[in-house]
């Protein structure tokens, strides 16, 4: 099991949903999501249908899913050895609450395994409102490409009805919010990207993983990109890491 690796999500496996809307209603953000069916497909592809399973239990008012993987999936001659990873669902869902919690907790547990985690590092996706592009329209990922560590290097989003490209991001085409991807908080001359203290990074990731509301989690990454020009805490500087940890309520 040491060599297993989940493939990144394909464009047709990613959903777009409206996130925040500006106060004047002139633009809105799109957030990238996966659904539980995609997790099931990738688990089947990676381990085989008989080498993973899930179970549910409740902690107070939160539904928790535990996804187990047979560590000996590539050694059929060995007895199954199950490793489990858990996460809780969002209990604030109003529509079909129980079903939604089950699905949400399953998706989160799969995030813990690493399936679809590349979506956390999506560029900020702002859409300007016009006659065709409103928060009520439907949007799809037309193309997505990944670089090192499955970081998104190219992303194209279209309006499903008009087929118009409404968002384009790439190494030479950085149009996330009018092309401005520069950090809002300047980097000190004596600091470098990625110099974040390892203990601070672990603490930040632990806090992020504990956020069970997916919208809140995505809002955090949007805030991180707005302020520091990255959605990956690994790329923060030493002082930025401490600022983020303090903002999350952790120790300085």
Greatest mean pLDDT among 21-30, 83-92, 170-179 lies in 21-30
Average confidence (pLDDT) over 126-148: 93
The model's pLDDT over 182-199, given as tens digits with 9 standing for 90+, comes to 444 555 556 777 788 888
- pLDDT of 223 > 50? The answer is yes
Percent of the chain exceeding pLDDT 90 equals: 43
The model's pLDDT over 32-56, given as tens digits with 9 standing for 90+, comes to 999 999 999 999 999 999 999 999 9
pLDDT value of position 180: 38
Compute φ and ψ for 241, nearest 5 degrees.
Answer: -60, -40
Percent of the chain exceeding pLDDT 70 equals: 86
pLDDT value of position 4: 72
Average confidence (pLDDT) over 142-157: 90
pLDDT value of position 85: 92
Angstrom distances, CA of residue 230 to CA of 22, 138, 168, 194, 251: 21, 27, 17, 11, 22
Point out the least confidently predicted range of 21-35, 141-155, 173-187, 201-215: 173-187
Give the model's confidence band at 71: pLDDT under 50 very low, under 70 low, under 90 confident, else very high: very high
Tokens 């968002």: give the residue. 167
pLDDT value of position 87: 87
Query: Exposed/middle/buried for 32, CB within 10 Å: 0-12, 13-18, 19+?
Result: buried
The model's pLDDT over 88-98, given as tens digits with 9 standing for 90+, comes to 876 554 545 67
Q: Is the pTM of this model over 0.75?
A: no
How much of the chain is in helix, strand and coil states, percent to nearest 5? 30, 25, 45
The model's pLDDT over 106-118, given as tens digits with 9 standing for 90+, comes to 998 999 899 998 9
pLDDT value of position 94: 53
Tokens 């290097």: give the residue. 153
pLDDT value of position 174: 43
pLDDT value of position 47: 93
- pLDDT of 9 > 50? The answer is yes
pLDDT value of position 208: 84
At residue 4, the 3 state secondary structure works out as coil
Query: Exposed/middle/buried for 208, CB within 10 Å: 0-12, 13-18, 19+?
Result: middle
CB 180 within 8 A of CB 225: no
At residue 214, the 3 state secondary structure works out as helix
> If you count DSSP H runs as helices and E runs as strands, how many of each does the chain have, helices first?
5, 9
Beta bridge partner(s), residue 85: 67
DSSP-derived letter for residue 74 is: T
- pLDDT of 181 > 70? The answer is no
Answer with the residue of higher pLDDT: 82 or 211: 82
Average confidence (pLDDT) over 69-87: 92
Question: Which one, of 164, 141, 107, 104, lies nearest residue 17 by Cα?
Answer: 141
């Amino acid at each position: 099991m040491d060599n297993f690796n989940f493939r990144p999500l394909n464009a047709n496996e990613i959903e777009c949903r409206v996130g925040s809307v500006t106060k004047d209603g002139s633009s809105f953000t799109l957030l990238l999501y996966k659904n539980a069916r995609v997790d099931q497909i990738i688990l089947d592809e990676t381990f085989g249908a008989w080498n993973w399973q899930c179970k549910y239990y409740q902690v107070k008012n939160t539904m928790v899913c535990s996804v187990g993987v047979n560590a000996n999936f590539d050694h059929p001659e060995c007895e199954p050895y199950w490793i489990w990873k858990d996460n809780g669902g969002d209990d604030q869902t109003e529509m079909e609450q129980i079903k939604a919690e089950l699905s949400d907790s399953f998706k989160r547990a799969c995030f813990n395994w690493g399936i679809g985690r590349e979506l956390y590092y999506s560029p900020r996706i702002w859409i300007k409102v016009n006659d065709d592009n409103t928060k009520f329209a439907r949007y799809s990922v037309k193309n997505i490409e990944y670089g090192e560590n499955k970081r998104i290097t190219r992303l194209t989003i279209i309006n499903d009805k008009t087929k118009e490209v409404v968002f384009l991001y790439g190494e030479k085409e950085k149009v996330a919010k009018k092309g401005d991807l520069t950090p809002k908080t300047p980097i000190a001359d004596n600091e470098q990207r990625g110099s974040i203290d390892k203990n601070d990074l672990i603490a930040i990731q632990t806090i992020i993983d504990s956020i069970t509301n997916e919208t809140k989690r995505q809002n955090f990454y949007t805030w991180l990109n707005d302020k520091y020009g990255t959605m990956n805490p690994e790329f923060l500087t030493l002082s930025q890491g401490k600022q983020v940890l303090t903002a999350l309520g952790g120790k300085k």
